[in-house]
Structure 1
């Protein structure tokens, strides 16, 4: 996807004869080249993984290379088509990018390993679903991140809100109480379409839906309109601009100004808030985006990474071994603790339970989703019609009419000629 919740990484492993061989306990050691994008994993984590992997695979050696995110798409496409020298065998990609790379049969189908060895039934849906194509698994979930509610503990206490809300109704009631004494109960920009997506999914709606092999925009369905209506009610309890998104102005700066009780953001944004206003260091708390009932947190957009294996790998078994190690419980939980990510499986959430922000993120990730699983979705985001649709509704336009027009725009991008 064009914009990520985090600065994510693209990792790959390459097993090519061009890398040469090294002496090993069995006579030779094949080199596996692994690309990782900057800031995906710490150098200490990569060093520890390399040492452990090589000690348990005495016929393989890892060559881990850090890549830049900018321009990685064409570089991955070149590697998949066999045009890149010393190309990779395992590639980390954004979860929503798998759809564009699976075209033309250039990825290895990993369904059998997923079903047999990798406990796919426990994977986070927001990572697993984008990795599928026609029920085949090509992208293997690695780690995730998503939005939570960051709040001011002191302002909650002052307003008499003793516990973080767990339902939408409680959230609205608490936010209304917080919206006093010159404070905003919540700062929610009018075009935060990622947050809107979660509300739409909670209502049973979709941004777009495929039927008969054709994708169509669905913002004008009753379920999607209910999600937009909840967004409108929540957004009205603060002074977020109707015509801008959460980056204009950056909401970390708005929150740091001291008059905002809540924002919806990745928990990592707390560090930027504290840098701008150190007095808030001990006042920030986190809770999952509330759902319709207390038993289930709200749905959230899940960003993160999947691992893919190009079909042009020289050694499928070795590539699979790298994927298995990186996504297995040992190293996946190590990465989550090291980088404050959510592990790839719901049953590993306890690994981050001692970090309040990450624990809140993990609770939401269990019900996370991703954007529509089509390679054409990037064209929708390039000139995103959801944003002006939201602004129109928040400015008083008829929701049904605005949603119908936005849905037509989405359909034009996903199925030209049908919009």
Structure 2
């Protein structure tokens, strides 16, 4: 699921083609060590990549950095093949929720002893938690992105609503209901936006699935998750979003660009797409964090983003760690956040994006970021995605408890199938 930086929101491995792996460069005869790194498409701009390479090699003249940009499609199989072979790159960027799949094979370097040195006390939980597996830290947080509310400043002004004062979910509902008149949709929220539902579930103290000993159990039928779905249903009813599709069918940006839609839940980059499709909305789009249950805490959000991993078979372990320490370090994190409108990997760096309204709003929400259940089998849940079917069933009037029990059982079966 990548809506620009959010390709990482999904753990489903896209594509079936297996591309050849690039071998590690190793040591040039009498020269610097060649360090092979795989970064993903759109995680860095060409300008940032050039700046980082020049700065890194200046500070570390014994390393010749070779960054290869990889495509998201088919990357899961490509990484799996690399980890199983003897010619793996030295560092690989992966989606934060994909780390468990690779760690399970035993093919990753354990960085547990380096967490303190890397500033782990300040890591975003939504990046650090899925980067760990069975008590060991394999993935080092790289950058994050999450959803915010993008709103029409002109429609809010006409309705007499100050977006900066919307701090709680009940205030949000009241404002949205006020906006929902005279041909304006208070919010465009498709019925299967399950990442948004997940945030409400976490707000209520629940989860999508819970681990009980060595087994997993779907948790959509818990009181917490049922309360979350009830709130989702109330919010969704204040717009004309379809009950049986997600945010990609049709594309949310296109809907907002065409009509009188007051709000949409998306990553900040969506505002640029909206304005591109309808130039009249340029300068009329603002941002605020998804409100929480109480005013003192922003709404929980799914943290999409990337972690950096090192294959256990990589030839240049010390140099790989040096690379990670630099790219995940404070100086380059600040530059990356500004260059790409990302959230830095640490909570104490949030002020680095203060000058970027969308990224700054995203950083507020990121402080309450979460990840999907940390198990290699979660990708299989998303492939079937009973959560989407459950949401549609409730929105068209079926019994929430019965449908939640059905979806939870499907999640339970998939997570414990081992396939």
Give the CA deviation at 1:407: 0.2
Matches within 5 A, 1:348-387: 348-387=349-388
Query: Residue 398 of structure 1 corresponds to which residue in structure 2?
Result: 399
Residues 137-157 of structure 1 deviation map (CA, whole Å, 9 limit, x = unaligned)? 100000011100000001001
Query: Unaligned regions of 5+ residues in structure 2, if any?
Result: 9-20
2:231 is paired with a residue whose SS is helix
| Counterparts in 2 of 1:334 and 1:14: CA distance versus 1, 3 Å | farther
2:93 is paired with a residue whose SS is strand
| Counterparts in 2 of 1:14 and 1:34: CA distance versus 1, 3 Å | farther
Residues 301-322 of structure 1 deviation map (CA, whole Å, 9 limit, x = unaligned)? 1110000011112222111101
Query: Residue 133 of structure 1 corresponds to which residue in structure 2?
Result: 133
Query: Residue 17 of structure 2 corresponds to which residue in structure 1?
Result: none
Query: Residue 214 of structure 1 corresponds to which residue in structure 2?
Result: 215
Give the CA deviation at 1:162: 2.1
1:6 aligns with 2:1: no
Residues 364-399 of structure 1 deviation map (CA, whole Å, 9 limit, x = unaligned)? 011111111111111111111001100111111111
Give the CA deviation at 1:20: 4.0
Query: Residue 75 of structure 1 corresponds to which residue in structure 2?
Result: 78
Query: Residue 275 of structure 2 corresponds to which residue in structure 1?
Result: 274
2:226 is paired with a residue whose SS is helix
How many residues are paired up?
A: 405
Aligned equivalents of 1:272, 1:54: Cα separation in 2? 36
Query: Residue 317 of structure 2 corresponds to which residue in structure 1?
Result: 316
Aligned equivalents of 1:302, 1:314: Cα separation in 2? 31
Aligned equivalents of 2:104, 2:135: Cα separation in 1? 14
Give the CA deviation at 1:403: 0.2
Aligned equivalents of 1:278, 1:60: Cα separation in 2? 46
Query: Residue 415 of structure 2 corresponds to which residue in structure 1?
Result: 414
Residues 62-111 of structure 1 deviation map (CA, whole Å, 9 limit, x = unaligned)? 0111222111111111111125x4x2111100000001100121111101
TM-score by length of 1: 0.94
Matches within 5 A, 1:148-167: 148-164=148-164, 165-167=166-168
Q: CA RMSD in A?
A: 1.8
Query: Residue 192 of structure 1 corresponds to which residue in structure 2?
Result: 193
Matches within 5 A, 1:269-308: 269-308=270-309
Query: Unaligned regions of 5+ residues in structure 1, if any?
Result: none
1:57 aligns with 2:64: no
Matches within 5 A, 1:83-162: 83=86, 85=87, 87-115=88-116, 117-162=117-162
Aligned equivalents of 1:5, 1:129: Cα separation in 2? 22
> CA contact under 8 A between 1:38 and 1:68: conserved in structure 2?
yes
1:242 is paired with a residue whose SS is coil
Aligned equivalents of 1:73, 1:241: Cα separation in 2? 32
Give the CA deviation at 1:19: 4.2
Residues 260-297 of structure 1 deviation map (CA, whole Å, 9 limit, x = unaligned)? 10000001011111111100001100000000111110
**Greater shift in the superposed pair: 297-306 or 408-417:** 408-417
